Amino acid sequence: MLKYSIKRVLWMIPMLIGISLISFFIMHLAPGDITNNEAAFNPKASEESRQKLRELYNLDKPIIVQYGLWLKRMVQFDFGNSFATHQKPVFLGTTDTDGNYTKGMIEEALPITLMINLLGLAITLTLAIPLGILAARKYQRWQDKSITLFNFIGFSIPGFWLSLLLMYWLGVANNWLPISGLHSLNYENLSTWDQLKDSISHLIMPVIIPSVTGLAGITLFVKNGMLDVLNQDYITTARAKGLGEHTVVYTHALRNALLPLITIIGLSIPGLIGGSVIAETIFAIPGMGKLFYDAVLMRDFPVVMGVLTIGSALTLLGNLLADIAYALADPRVRRGVARG
């Protein structure tokens, strides 16, 4: 087990280098750079001043040299400062000589995205597991078919369209929920209880809409897992022993059927960390997706690279934890049977 874990950790190093190479070279696919954002396209902005910007950021050096300089800083956990947003630090905050603390951009965005997506995942799982079990138990019957249909409809609706329709219905036509943003403007003046209610009401739409669209995959997974397990010998044996259907399904089958879910959750980590560009844009949420999208449009290379690298590294870490958790939960792996 320990050997397995160490091996997995060591594998992360070449993978991180691979990830950083991919993200770095993607950055240089296009001739566009920071000096071409809309603000700079102003007759008052001289070309010399833009050339100076390029020199400052080493954009004029060969790509290999730029990568070297960047990698050198990266191993020191220094992801540099944003080109576009007044030199904000990309990853972690810094304190200047006067003791003013400036928060890092990823440091600000990541918790928001993580919170929203973890809540979303929790909701997806709470809905998907019972639905999956039901579909498996009523396999090929109308319950199974309606669950499949309902899930696929949820999956197939363009998310931003559904969001706008619901924003109109819940926020404008009926004044039930706030339309966008994370807090009300008077948030600071509310009591703790009201602040909690305020936050929850702002989170309902951005959390629930993506989790409904993501329901289909996990429900299917649970259903198929259940079907596999229910057909296995030990379940048949359990049934034959006269155990109640309820006991069979919920004690014996479920545990084994849910085990592979750990892997699925591991695979969904990029989404948890990356968040949804579209949902964050439409609901005005300053998370990782919005951060990345803005950086792409501004050609803010340090931020683009920072988000890709940190996001991928955290994903690797998450996958590692998921694998270890899986190994701990599944005796076959624990004993060292090789996994693909």
What single string gives the DSSP state of each residue in 105-135?
Answer: HHHHHHHHHHHHHHHHHHHHHHHHHHHHHHH
Q: Please give the Cα distance from 340 to 321 (Å, whole number).
A: 17
Sign of the torsion formed by the C-alpha atoms of 50, 52, 56 and 62: positive
Q: Residue 231 or residue 251: which is nearer to other proteins going by CB?
A: 231
Q: Cβ neighbours of residue 47 under 8 Å, at least 6 residues apart?
A: none
Count of residues interacting with other proteins (CB under 8 A): 124
Q: What values do phi and psi take at 71, rounded to 5?
A: -65, -40
Burial zone of 255 (CB within 10 Å; 0-12 exposed, 13-18 middle, 19+ buried): exposed
Q: Reduced to 3 DSSP states, what percent helix, strand and coil does the chain have, rounded to the nearest 5?
A: 70, 0, 25
Query: What character string, x for contact with other proteins (CB under 8 A) and - otherwise, covers 17-46?
Result: -xx--xx--xx-xxxxx-xxxxxxxxxxxx
Q: Which is nearer to other proteins, 206 or 252 (CB)?
A: 206
Site for other proteins contains 323 (CB under 8 A): no
Report, in Å, the least distance between residue 36 CB and other proteins.
4
220 binds other proteins (CB under 8 A): yes
Nearer CB in complex with other proteins: 244/339: 339
Binding segment toward other proteins, per CB under 8 A, in 64-72, 250-258, 285-293, 328-336: 285-293
CA distance linking residue 329 with residue 83, whole number of Å? 46
**Which of positions 225-254 make contact with other proteins (CB under 8 A)?**
227, 231
Q: Of the two residues 43 and 242, which places its CB atom closer to other proteins in the complex? A: 43
Minimum CB separation from other proteins for residue 285, in Å?
Answer: 8
Could you say which of 78, 114, 137, 184 contacts other proteins (CB under 8 A)?
184
Q: Which is nearest to 266 in space by CA: 205, 339, 198, 163?
A: 339
145 near other proteins, rule: CB under 8 A:
yes
The nearest distance, CB 67 to other proteins, in angstroms, is 16
Give the nearest distance from C-beta 313 to other proteins in angstroms.
Answer: 8
Can you tell me which of 3, 7, 77, 175 binds other proteins, judged by CB under 8 A? 175
Query: Exposed, middle or buried by CB within 10 Å (0-12, 13-18, 19+), for 309?
Result: buried
Q: Measured from the CB of residue 7, what is the shortest distance to other proteins in angstroms?
A: 12
Q: Which residue among 125, 249, 282, 303 contacts other proteins (CB under 8 A)? A: 282
